[in-house]
Structure 1
Amino acid sequence: MTFFVLSDLHFGFGFPDDLNTLPANPLTQPVGLERDHQRVIAKMNGLAGQTYPPPLGGKVQMPRGLLLTGDLTEWGRVEEWQHFVAYYGLHGHEGLLKIPVFEGIGNHDRVHGPWVEQRVAERHGGRFYSWDWDDLHLVSLGEAPDDEGLAFLANDLAHYAADVPIVLYFHLALEGPWSTGNWFADGDFRNRLGKTIEKHRVIAIFHGHHHATGHYRWNGVDVYKPGAVKNSTHTFSVVHVTDSKMSVARYDYEANAWEWSDEKKLVAE
């Protein structure tokens, strides 16, 4: 199966100080970063059928959905959320995007309280949620797994055999730039996350927050940063998983070109 990953949307960045002056229709009168959102959404809608970079080969299949790793809004305001929904929808037919969306929050979404997080929970059944695409299990852990999130994850994974492939995604970084000086880094949450998943087959973790691309290993797990809409790293990840291998390729929607790709085996030969 194929799915996309994007981060750091920041609806509200570049909005007027007086929100009463916002256009009635954000799709026809884009504000702030919204022209960038139009570009990335148009590319996602049309990427199926295009050829992967030579190291991977083949063509992009129709994606099952889009994972969003947080910072949907700049300040967590109602108007910003409304613009996010107008562009990205939910099931693939409410907004510009034509595939389902599975979003989690970031630190910016919590600036003025839990309102955005509550909207996400209404759309997906909880602050943290999970689902299956065929044999692949995916888990959204919001900004990052706190006490409640770790308890949710442990209970969720207890229902799956150790050989089931699992993808986790959340907002805050595990290592590298912008991975310190926040509640997730300063507590023991990361260590507890590692212990929670150590007996399970986590094939990838995706996170945002850094507004950058990257790939590193954490506790033996491959971790990917897909790029962001805010600032200059205008890429999203295209993930393809089969029984035997997984590939992650980043597409630059400004340059209309593949920016990076990686492939790994999921079973030993």
Structure 2
Amino acid sequence: MPTRRQFLQTSIGASAALTLPSVAGLPGTEKEATFILVADTHYSSVDENHPASLAMVKAINRIADGSFRWPIQINGQRSGFSCAGTIIQSPRGIIHLGDITDFGGGTELNGGKGFLGLKHYLGFRPFWEHDGEGVGKSKLKVAYPVHCGLGNHDLDHSQRNRERMWAYIRQRHAGENPPIPVSSFDDDSLSYALHWGPLRILQLHRFATDRIYGRKPALPWLKRQLAQAKQSGQHVLLCQHYGFDPFGIQSRWWTEKDRTQLLDALAPYTNIIGLCHGHSHATGHYFRKKLRVIRCNNMGWELDRGNKDGYGSFALVRATDTHFDLVHVQCINASGDFRFSPKHAVAIRTNRTADNNS
């Protein structure tokens, strides 16, 4: 069974071209959306000097200050982005792909008991609530709404800690007037949808068919969302914690049956851009059958664990009714400097019928 370190040392991302049906002329929707994907922040405490947190939060806040443009070239190679050379627009929000905390669900070292889960839960919030007070004298916090997803580190081990994390999802996104509204919220699975520009983004937490810990699977809700997106002419982007890479498909995370059920639900649709996930602490771009899969990196310094990527990275996305562009943004230092990564970028035309057989 491969460990995350073994996976990171051997994994090679694959890129392929794909075109999707046009969504031009969507009634009542905007034609463009810029947003950010993050994963695996693994907070354990409130630390105003946490270098990785300073690096990522500051970089996210800087990237749309009007000084930066979508790259025309990265390391001397054409980026292929439809928006290359244009100023990066203010993001609609941030989508978190899970493992917000390191042990928000408790830890097996103490049977999930004690205050560790609460400490880790409280460690995340000051940095990543745009409507909060921020951290330290500078009141540092992200400038954009964070749409949270939960991973295994947020949910494993303790029912009490787990319920705290689920309650946070409800508190931030559910009900009539939540701090961060969503377009559709499923009370059974706590999955939700965002309608951003030409996209319908579906947050599925750990994975779509998750049925443990007393929560019903999101699959029935997902199928309804897919049908509605097809009817309205929207493209679909799926977001969850687990992926289809060698580390992510271990049965301790989700089973082959789970994955088959998800792929079967997606199979009838040609308007699906892909599935974005975290969990493996590295960027990636590959296919599972015809499904494009985009893997987002973690926040953290892991030079001693096989992941030589500095302070981690986040993904910057721009979607229009004709194109989908994604670039991974590598955080360099605690001052918020960053660089665009040449690895695993995505540039898709979305105005033709899907014809990829990968």
- Bin the TM-score by the shorter chain: 0.7 to 0.9
Aligned position for 2:152: 107
What is the DSSP-based 3-state SS (H/G/I as helix, E as strand, rest coil) of the residue aligned with 2:61? helix
CA contact (8 A) 2:284 2:294 kept: yes
Letter in 2 for 1:81: Y
Aligned position for 2:170: 121
Q: Give the CA deviation at 1:61.
A: 1.1
What is the root-mean-square deviation in Å for CA atoms of aligned residues? 1.9
CA contact (8 A) 1:8 1:72 kept: yes
Between the aligned partners of 1:189 and 1:262, the Cα distance in structure 2 is 26
Cα displacement string for residues 59-88 of structure 1 (whole angstroms, at most 9, x for unaligned residues): 211111111111111111112111211110
Map of 1:1-269 to 2, 5 A cutoff?
Answer: 1-12=33-44, 26=46, 29-30=48-49, 34-48=50-64, 49=66, 50-54=68-72, 55=79, 56=81, 57=84, 58-76=86-104, 77-89=117-129, 92-94=130-132, 95=134, 96-111=141-156, 112-113=158-159, 114-115=162-163, 116-125=165-174, 126=187, 127-146=190-209, 147=211, 148-161=217-230, 163-184=233-254, 186-200=255-269, 201-230=271-300, 231=302, 232=307, 233=309, 234-254=312-332, 256-260=338-342, 261-268=345-352
Which structure 2 residue ranges, 5 or more long, are not aligned? 1-32, 73-78, 105-116, 135-140, 175-186, 212-216, 354-358
Between the aligned partners of 2:316 and 2:39, the Cα distance in structure 1 is 13
CA contact (8 A) 1:109 1:117 kept: no
Query: Aligned pair in 2 of structure 1 residues 11, 135: CA closer, same or farther (>3 Å)?
Result: same
CA contact (8 A) 2:243 2:293 kept: no
Identity between Structure 1 and Structure 2 (%): 22
Aligned position for 1:19: none
What is the DSSP-based 3-state SS (H/G/I as helix, E as strand, rest coil) of the residue aligned with 1:117? helix
User: Which runs of 4 or more aligned residues in structure 1 lie more than 4 Å from their structure 2 counterparts after TM superposition?
Assistant: none
Q: If the length of structure 2 is used for normalisation, what is the TM-score?
A: 0.66
Does 242-251 or 52-61 show the bigger shift?
52-61
- Structure with the greater relative contact order (CA < 8 A, sep ≥ 6): 1 or 2? 2
Letter in 2 for 1:237: A
Letter in 1 for 2:263: G
Q: Give the CA deviation at 1:183.
A: 4.4
Normalized per residue, which structure has more strand?
A: 1
Letter in 1 for 2:166: E
What is the DSSP-based 3-state SS (H/G/I as helix, E as strand, rest coil) of the residue aligned with 1:104? coil
Between the aligned partners of 2:235 and 2:349, the Cα distance in structure 1 is 12
Between the aligned partners of 1:239 and 1:179, the Cα distance in structure 2 is 26
Between the aligned partners of 2:39 and 2:203, the Cα distance in structure 1 is 13
Q: If the length of structure 1 is used for normalisation, what is the TM-score?
A: 0.86
Q: Give the CA deviation at 1:158.
A: 2.9
What is the DSSP-based 3-state SS (H/G/I as helix, E as strand, rest coil) of the residue aligned with 2:346? strand
Which structure 1 residue ranges, 5 or more long, are not aligned? 16-25
Which one has a bigger Cα radius of gyration?
A: 2
